[in-house]
Structure 1
Amino acid sequence: MKTKTTLLFLSILLISTLKLSGQSYSTNETDSQGIKPYTQNPWYWQYQGEPLVLIGGSDDDNLFPWTGKQLTDHLDLLISSGGNYLRNTMSDRDEGNVFAFKKINEDSYDLNQWNDEYWRRLVFFLDETSKRGIIVQLTLWDIFDINSSGRWGNHPWNPKNNINMQPGTWKDSRDFFATVNNNAQTELSFQKKFIDKLLSVTLKYDNVLYNINNESSEESDWGNYWALYLKELANKSLKRIYITNMQLSAANAIRHYMTYPAIFDFVDISQNNQDSKGGRGKAHWDNLMFLREKIASLGPVPLNNVKIYGATDGGLNYSAGSETEAMDRFWRDIIGGCASARFHRPSVPNKPWGSGLNERVQTNLKVMNMLLEKLDIVSCTPHNDLLSPNVSVPSTMEAYVTANIGQQYAIYFP
């Protein structure tokens, strides 16, 4: 591992004329400890009064159902690799997961009663991440939990599987995600009850960021409604929280935020990190710079990447891209001024979407920390305009620059 780390570090050139020594940062005393945009540079986050870049990877998207040493060992591995950032969907579709609702007989659940084990696992997860200073980006709704016949057929949300709703009230996941637009108050009340319970747990923690949907393609009203509802609950608890709504494309994510900047607080542009909806190589960087320029027109907010796609260099998933490209995207995202970068969950059979927290990811996280120990990146800005070759170079040659002009420069060579 040491040899690999050393070799990888050779691809980063850091030029510094500033000696870093005990820099201090001003904080907002009214809410200085929780995760929030960095007061001196809102492109980034701060936590416990200090700016930090969020980086990570994990072997599942919903770690909260994990219990005991399975969870704590994985969190310790993330920390030992230099990571501080996790994705957690409130999903219940994997083997060993449990549902949020109480099962009252062989075939039925009661949406008005809770399965205590589900919530105990969430509390344990948040306790352990908070203890380690790990930031959790929590996703409320994930269409992939209920979008197939098998998952919908067995889920408590399906009216045929609960005692609270008339059969056929929701025929499928499309009906489930249409309650806001249809003003279906009775059905919406059950969704609100779940969110009420969820927030009664999560608002006790200061290391949680909120995302409404995974890869949303719903009407704007759906995401807007839940963002405002979360803020209402948080306000009642005298808590300030930060919310996004991940879209099915990075451009849509930017557009959605720019349309509703009073509702949302940051943007997740994860879909730029795959071949089919984003780009590879220079195209990936150019997309990122374009998205950043659009946001800058309104004023900076953190750009998060809770998913970086790409796994198996054999090319088994052309939509996600290769694992080598995933590593390059990780570096381009951070050099390009993003607030977070996390490697997507590892592959499932025939669907290699990501790398999780494998050895290669661990190496990259460690090396990123080596760079950030020397580079005051929150004072830097992407600056590829500084590159000017004096001789012609192949079109495939890449280099990416971030700089605090006159003080520090970092150049990444893939």
Structure 2
Amino acid sequence: MKTMLTFLASAASAGHLLAATALAPLSLHPENPHYFLFRGQPTVLITSAEHYGAVLNRDFNYVKYLHTLAQDGLNNTRTFSGAYVEPQGAFNIERNTLAPAPGRFICPWARSDVPGYANGGTKFDLHRWDEDYFRRLKDFLATASRYGIVVEMNLFCPFYEEAQWRLSPQNAINNIQGLGTVPRTNVYTLDKHGGLLAVHEAMTRKIVTELKDFDNLYYEICNEPYFGGVTMAWQKHIADVIVATEKELGVRHLISMNIANGKAKVTDPHPAISIFNFHYAFPPDTVAMNYDLNKIIGDNETGFKGTNDTHYRMEGWAFILAGGGLYNNLDYSFTVGFEDGTFAYHAKQPGGGNPDFRRQMRTLSQFIHSFDFVKMRPARELVKGGLPDKAHVQMLAEPGRQYALYLFGGKEAQLQLDVPAGTYSVQWVYPRTGQKTPAQPVRHEGGLLTLATPAYEPDIALRLVRAQP
């Protein structure tokens, strides 16, 4: 494995696009499809990543950004295709990477010779591709591959307000074909799109074809399709386009569907969907609600809980320890000029993120990957008592062998766990600092196992593993 990764690093640094590396794309783990299999290893995707503009914003140094993610021990990023772009100042985001400066926006469609794009430069030709864009996109994937980072390629996004629709190449005011003379709420439909469906199909086929050789990739059909008039029929149609295109290419990448903010029960899922993503998913009830799908349940956007680390750390730990397979904190400290994630944003930013928070996410990643988690299942019911008032607890377990517990709230606890008799190694982890207590053996004679936590505030994690006979 080490030899293969060394080869990938040298290939990417030489500017190759990693074709014919013989690596299978990211997939569901065959033994437990709630988790990923990536380059032969069981994998949970955990990150704190930029606001999706790394490719479409010409000024963003994605090489420095991806290097930072890798140094911070994170393994996922999310990027938008350019079918959607934001104006500066949108959502009160300071130095928004999804809002390029005038004339600095790049997307799949080539520019024409006709002046008049709403944010600088000429209008777009929806019948021609911008090869500079695809070179940038593929180099982004190649660089991420070198660092072992999986890319969520988000194809589309609804237009929340007229301000975003005004900047879209799909709007008739911005393309020479005059396509898109429809309300923004009709764009992503099968019957009211005004000729744009063929544009969506062509862009999907083009991106899927260009990225066919990358293993560090999955596709998300549409960000937050529960806004802006996006129909489920249209989403399923785009999924069919991905599947048909990849069938012709002889490859298969995972496909994600963004389901809801918070929680929702998935009904009548498209058979090609392998990842069901939610936003702002705390408490993580949506994992249990959809666990019987036997697919990845992800939380791939956070925010609107202030700029302090505490909530977003809690959301990540709770979601993963509830059985989720993916967590992506939306990190606003990554901006143009601060691709090392050190930008100090204003206090009213709609989310958080900073170097210290990313270290907290590295602790989470190291914690879950220290287990043979493919054999574990959600097991909060095995916590029988001893919790502080209003505390939140989640636990994964392979009963009798390994237990991973996260506790938020209070300052100490006398946990009572339903654990079989045996000798176990007990180790406590502080999610905020990453500090660990020395592992201590505990002999349990049967019944409820009582474990006294060390003092903590506001959260602590437990690694309980049965000693080998």
Per-residue Cα deviation, 1:108-147 (whole angstroms, up to 9, x for no partner): 3221122333222211111111222211111110124xx4
Per-residue Cα deviation, 1:294-332 (whole angstroms, up to 9, x for no partner): 441xx411111211335535xxxxxxxx53111101001
Question: Which residue of structure 1 lines up, in the alignment, with residue 158 of structure 2?
Answer: 143
Q: Distance in 1 between matches of 2:77 and 2:221?
A: 16
Question: Which residue of structure 1 lines up, in the alignment, with residue 231 of structure 2?
Answer: 219
Q: For residue 289 of structure 1, report the CA deviation from its aligned partner.
A: 4.8
Q: 1:94-173 maps to which residues of 2 (within 5 A)?
A: 94-95=99-100, 96-101=104-109, 102-107=111-116, 108-144=123-159, 147-165=160-178, 169-173=180-184
Residue number among 287, 296, 302 corresponding to 2:296 in the alignment? 302
Say whether 1:354 aligns with 2:369: no
Q: Distance in 1 between matches of 2:197 and 2:216?
A: 28
Question: Which residue of structure 2 lines up, in the alignment, with residue 176 of structure 1?
Answer: 187
Q: Distance in 1 between matches of 2:151 and 2:49?
A: 12
Per-residue Cα deviation, 1:253-307 (whole angstroms, up to 9, x for no partner): x42xx303424222112242xxxxxx4xxxx04x14532xx441xx411111211
Higher strand share: 2
Contact 1:44-1:51 at 8 Å conserved across structures: yes
Question: Which residue of structure 1 lines up, in the alignment, with residue 445 of structure 2?
Answer: none
Q: 1:59 to 1:188 in 2, by over 3 A?
A: closer
Contact 1:309-1:353 at 8 Å conserved across structures: yes
Contact 1:100-1:118 at 8 Å conserved across structures: yes
Question: Which residue of structure 2 lines up, in the alignment, with residue 341 of structure 1?
Answer: 327
Q: For residue 32 of structure 1, report the CA deviation from its aligned partner.
A: 6.6
Contact 1:335-1:401 at 8 Å conserved across structures: yes
Per-residue Cα deviation, 1:323-342 (whole angstroms, up to 9, x for no partner): 31111010011111111111
Higher helix share: 1
Residue number among 382, 406, 411 corresponding to 2:378 in the alignment? 382
Q: 1:337 to 1:75 in 2, by over 3 A?
A: same
Query: 2:381 is matched by which residue type in structure 1?
Result: D
Q: 1:84 to 1:311 in 2, by over 3 A?
A: same
Query: 1:270 is matched by which residue type in structure 2?
Result: H
SS in 2 for 1:247: strand
Structure-2-length-normalised TM-score:
0.68
* Dislocated runs of 4+, deviation >6 Å: 347-350
Q: For residue 78 of structure 1, report the CA deviation from its aligned partner.
A: 0.9
Question: Which residue of structure 2 lines up, in the alignment, with residue 17 of structure 1?
Answer: none
Q: Distance in 1 between matches of 2:132 and 2:56?
A: 9
Say whether 1:290 aligns with 2:298: no
Q: For residue 69 of structure 1, report the CA deviation from its aligned partner.
A: 8.6
Mean Cα deviation higher: 36-45 or 263-272: 263-272
Say whether 1:264 aligns with 2:276: no
Query: 2:358 is matched by which residue type in structure 1?
Result: Q
Query: 1:86 is matched by which residue type in structure 2?
Result: T
Question: Which residue of structure 2 lines up, in the alignment, with residue 198 of structure 1?
Answer: 207
Mean Cα deviation higher: 66-75 or 327-336: 66-75
Q: For residue 160 of structure 1, report the CA deviation from its aligned partner.
A: 2.6
Question: Which residue of structure 2 lines up, in the alignment, with residue 74 of structure 1?
Answer: 65
Query: 1:352 is matched by which residue type in structure 2?
Result: Q
Which protein is bigger by CA-based radius of gyration?
Answer: 2
Q: Distance in 1 between matches of 2:258 and 2:364?
A: 25
Q: Distance in 1 between matches of 2:245 and 2:275?
A: 19
Question: Which residue of structure 1 lines up, in the alignment, with residue 364 of structure 2?
Answer: 368
SS in 1 for 2:317: helix
Say whether 1:332 aligns with 2:323: no
Q: 1:351 to 1:220 in 2, by over 3 A?
A: farther
Contact 2:279-2:302 at 8 Å conserved across structures: yes
Aligned-residue Cα RMSD (Å) equals 2.5
Structure-1-length-normalised TM-score:
0.77
**Total equivalences in the alignment:** 349
Contact 1:310-1:325 at 8 Å conserved across structures: no
With a CA cutoff of 8 Å and minimum separation of 6, indicate the structure with the bigger relative contact order.
1
Per-residue Cα deviation, 1:362-383 (whole angstroms, up to 9, x for no partner): 2212212432353222222221
Among the aligned pairs, what percent are the same residue? 19
Q: Distance in 1 between matches of 2:291 and 2:363?
A: 29
SS in 2 for 1:75: helix
